Chains A and B, each alone.
Chain A
Amino acid sequence: MGVKKTDIVLLDENGIRCDGRKINEPRRIMIKAGVLKNANGSAYIEFGENKILAGVFGPRDVHPKHLANTDRGILRCRYHMQPFSVGERKNPAPSRREIEISKVIKEALEPALMLENFPRTVVDVFIEILQADGGSRCAALDAAAVALADAGIPMRDMVSACAAGKVADTIVLDINNEEDQEGQADMPVAYMPNLGKVTLIQLDGVLTPQEYEKCVNTALEGCKLVYEVQKKALQEKFFGDDAK
Chain B
Amino acid sequence: MTSSTIIDDLKKKKILALLKEGQRIDGRALDEPRQLTIDTGVIPKAEGSARVRLGDTEVVCGVKVQPDKPFPDLGDRGIFICTAEILPLADPSAEPGPPGEEVIELARVVDRGIRESGMVDLKQLVLEKDKSVVGIFIDNSVTDYDGNLFDACSYASVASVLSCKLPKFKYDSSNGSVSKVEGEFSAPPITTIPVSVTMGKIGDTIIVDPNADEWSCMDGRITITTNAAGNICAVQKGGHDGFTPEQLVQCSKISIATGAKIRDILKQAGGS
User: Which residue numbers of A lie inside 8 Å of B, CB to CB?
Assistant: 1-2, 69, 71, 96-97, 99-100, 102-104, 107, 110-111, 187, 191-192, 195-209, 212-213, 216-217, 220
Q: Which of B201-247 contact A (CB under 8 A)?
A: 222, 227, 230-245
Chain A at the B interface: mostly helix, strand, loop or mixed?
mixed
> Could you list 13 A-B pairs, sorted by A, with CB under 8 Å?
A71-B4, A96-B108, A97-B108, A100-B101, A103-B104, A103-B105, A195-B242, A198-B243, A198-B245, A204-B234, A206-B116, A206-B231, A209-B230
Flag whether B252 is at the interface (Cβ < 8 A). yes
B239 lies within 8 A of A107 (CB): yes
Closest Cβ of chain A to B48, distance in Å, is 24
The 9 A-B pairs at the shortest CB distance, nearest first, are namely A197-B242, A203-B235, A199-B242, A110-B240, A201-B237, A204-B116, A103-B101, A206-B233, A212-B232
A209 lies within 8 A of B253 (CB): yes
Residue of B112, B230, B235, B253 touching A201 (CB-CB under 8 A): B235
How distant is the Cα of A110 from the Cα of B105 in the complex, in angstroms?
A: 18
Chain B at the A interface: mostly helix, strand, loop or mixed?
mixed
A111 lies within 8 A of B231 (CB): no
CB neighbours (8 Å) of A220 from chain B are: 245
Residue of B105, B107, B116, B237 touching A198 (CB-CB under 8 A): B237
Chain B residue nearest in CB terms to A195: B242
CB neighbours (8 Å) of B222 from chain A are: 201
How distant is the Cα of A104 from the Cα of B108 in the complex, in angstroms?
A: 12
B244 lies within 8 A of A197 (CB): yes
Closest Cβ of chain A to B54, distance in Å, is 23
Flag whether B73 is at the interface (Cβ < 8 A). yes
User: Which residue numbers of B lie inside 8 Å of A, CB to CB?
Assistant: 3-4, 73, 101-102, 104-105, 107-108, 112, 115-118, 222, 227, 230-245, 248-249, 252-253, 256
Closest Cβ of chain B to A240, distance in Å, is 33
Residues A196 and B232 in contact in the complex (CB < 8 Å), given A96-B108, A100-B104, A206-B116:
no
Known A-B contacts: A111-B240, A213-B249. Give 15 more (CB < 8 A). A100-B105, A102-B101, A103-B101, A110-B240, A196-B245, A197-B242, A198-B242, A199-B237, A203-B232, A203-B236, A204-B233, A206-B117, A208-B232, A212-B249, A212-B252
How distant is the Cα of A174 from the Cα of B50 in the complex, in angstroms?
A: 40
CB neighbours (8 Å) of B239 from chain A are: 107
CB neighbours (8 Å) of A201 from chain B are: 222, 235-237, 243, 248
Residues A206 and B242 in contact in the complex (CB < 8 Å), given A1-B73, A100-B104, A201-B222:
no
Chain A residue nearest in CB terms to B107: A96
Chain A residue nearest in CB terms to B116: A204
How distant is the Cα of A34 from the Cα of B223 in the complex, in angstroms?
A: 36
Residues A197 and B108 in contact in the complex (CB < 8 Å), given A100-B101, A206-B233:
no
A202 lies within 8 A of B236 (CB): yes
Interface centre among A69, A97, A107 (most CB of B within 10 A): A107
B252 lies within 8 A of A197 (CB): no
Closest Cβ of chain A to B225, distance in Å, is 9
